[in-house]
Amino acid sequence: MKEPDVIEGMEVVYRKPQTLTATPMHYCPGCSHGVVHKILMEVVDEMGIQDKTVGVAPVGCSVFAYDYMNVDMQEAAHGRASAVATGIRRVLPDTYVFAYQGDGDLAAIGTGETVHTVNRGENILMVFINNGIYGMTGGQMAPTSLLGMKTSTSPYGREAAVNGYPLRITELLAQLPGAYYVTRQSVHTTAAVRKCKKAIEASFRYQTEKRGTCFIEVVANCPSGWKMTPNEANDWLEKNMFPYYPIGDIKAPKQ
């Protein structure tokens, strides 16, 4: 890791955490994936659990997450990250385990694994990046795409009669008794990033209590798939995604 320059009379108050590798991330400019990788790894760094953390990477734009996160990582088949994370956590019960997945991965092809992982109450953290689209493969409609949303497979906008309704899988999962902490966050402003980081911190702490699955949805942007600049995408997200995917805790443990 490159050491920051020393500036006379100044101290470093923010720098890249050592839990991220020096490999430049391949994400499009302004993509939320980078921000979520960063805060996940900041929490691991601050809690001093780098050697006790194992992550599971998905198929999707974040398929190379294992190149960026400087912890033990395992790649899973498309949609199966939570099943792989289940195995890791059961074999190594004192390890902090997280699965990191997009909406195509977690809420389409992997719906079965997702529901049953949470229903079993596996002691893992599931990080769910909901950008309402299949980013990696060219912006196809996802189960989470909003009604009226134009994607490469819904060029005139998503229609309920043909494509069904946008899936609020997070609310669905919160119903399951195995879910311990379920929250929806975003990372499009400084304040939002700080709150999301607190949720990640709490989820890692809860893992040691072995009380069930922690699930964090991050309402994310996909500037390339949405065909917007990063700042436009973040504005669009606030105006269009938040009314359907409201931010906040859906199931919080009683303190």
Ligand X SMILES: Cc1ncc(C[n+]2csc(CCOP(=O)(O)OP(=O)(O)O)c2C)c(N)n1
CA distance to 39, 86, 165, 194, per residue, from 144 (Å): 24, 25, 8, 25
- By CB under 6 A, which span of 136-144, 172-180, 189-197, 238-246 interacts with ligand X? 136-144
Residue 104 contacts ligand X per CB under 6 A: yes
What is the Cα–Cα distance from 96 to 93, expressed in whole angstroms?
8
Helix (H) or strand (E) holding 84: helix 81-91
Residue 224 touches which of another protein, ligand X, ligand SF4, none (CB < 5 to 8 A by kind)? Answer: ligand SF4
Site for ligand X, residues 10 to 39, rule: CB under 6 A: none
146-175: contacts with ligand X (CB under 6 A): none
Name 84's Cβ contacts closer than 8 Å, sequence gap at least 6: 56, 74, 76, 99
Cα–Cα distances (Å) from 167 to 49, 174, 184, 254, in that order, read 34, 13, 14, 27
Asked whether position 217 contacts ligand X by CB under 6 A, the answer is no
Q: Which two tokens stand for residue 169?
A: 């899988």
Is residue 130 within a helix (H) or strand (E), and if so which, with residue range?
strand 125-130
User: Binding pattern to ligand SF4, positions 25-44, x when CB under 6 A?
Assistant: --xx--x-x-----------
Which tokens hold the place of 16?
């890249």
Stretch that binds another protein, among 123-131, 168-176, 189-197, 202-210 (CB under 8 A): 189-197
The item of ligand SF4, ligand X, another protein, none sharing an interface with residue 205, based on CB under 5 to 8 Å by kind, is none
Half-sphere exposure of 206 (CA within 13 A, CB side): 27
Q: Beta partners for 52?
A: none
Q: Which of 148, 189, 208, 227 binds another protein (CB under 8 A)?
A: 189
- Decide if residue 58 touches ligand SF4 (CB under 6 A): no
Q: Does 225 bind ligand SF4 (CB under 6 A)?
A: yes
Establish if 142 lies at the interface with ligand X (CB under 6 A): yes
Q: How many CB atoms lie within 10 A of CB 235?
A: 14
On the 0-12 / 13-18 / 19+ scale of CB atoms within 10 A, 116 is: middle
Q: Which is nearer to another protein, 28 or 77 (CB)?
A: 28
Q: Per CB under 8 A, which region of 15-23, 114-122, 136-144, 165-173 contacts another protein? A: 15-23
Q: Which residues make up the interface to another protein (CB under 8 A)?
A: 1, 3-18, 20, 24-25, 27-35, 38, 187-190, 193-194, 223, 229-231, 234
Q: Which residues make up the interface to ligand SF4 (CB under 6 A)?
A: 27-28, 31, 33, 61, 131, 135-136, 222-225
Q: Which residues make up the interface to ligand X (CB under 6 A)?
A: 59-62, 78, 102-105, 109, 129, 131, 133-137, 142, 222
